[in-house]
Amino acid sequence: MFFNPSEIIFDNNRGFSELALIFSIQADFMFGLFKKKPKEKQPPQLQDLNSKPIKEGDKVTSLRYELGTCTVVLEGLEYFYVSDESGERVSYVKMVDAITENQKVLLVEQE
């Protein structure tokens, strides 16, 4: 099944393209067995302006778009901030602070 490299020395009738094809087939077979499985995509890890981790269901105070107090909601792989007062939804992408790359929200401390 596998190509024996010593055949190169003894078989001068094979052209270079045939040998390349044999090596290619052998490599595809061998290395195909050890391929990494694709990782399942994960939602991004969010942090508030003070670098505290934010997770789904947390209450935060928005510093943009006059949302007030919001609840963090995860839909698919995207987070949304849903205002408790107006019900307006804003994607986490719009809340990124350009300097720190954290979210422009402050985590409301749970008692």
111 residues of the chain, pLDDT tens digit each: 455 555 554 445 555 555 565 656 655 555 556 667 788 899 999 999 999 999 999 999 999 999 999 999 999 999 999 999 999 999 999 999 989 999 999 999 876
If asked whether residues 20 and 69 sit together in one domain, one would say no
Number of domain units in the chain: 2
What pLDDT does 22 receive?
60
Residue 36: predicted pLDDT: 73
Q: Is residue 51 part of a domain?
A: yes
| Residue 7 sits in the same domain as residue 50 | no
What is the pLDDT at residue 6? 54
Q: What is the model's pLDDT at position 81? A: 96
Rounded to an integer, what distance in angstroms lies between the CA atom of residue 51 and that of residue 34? 39
Say whether both 52 and 99 belong to one domain. yes
Co-location of 102 and 75 in the same domain: yes
Q: Are residues 19 and 71 in the same domain?
A: no
Same domain, yes or no: 50 and 22 = no
Instruction: Look at residue 110 in the predicted model and tell me its pLDDT.
Output: 74
Strands of 89-91's sheet, edge to edge? 89-91, 78-83, 69-75, 59-62, 105-107
Domain extent, residue 89, equals 46-107
Strand partners for 16: none
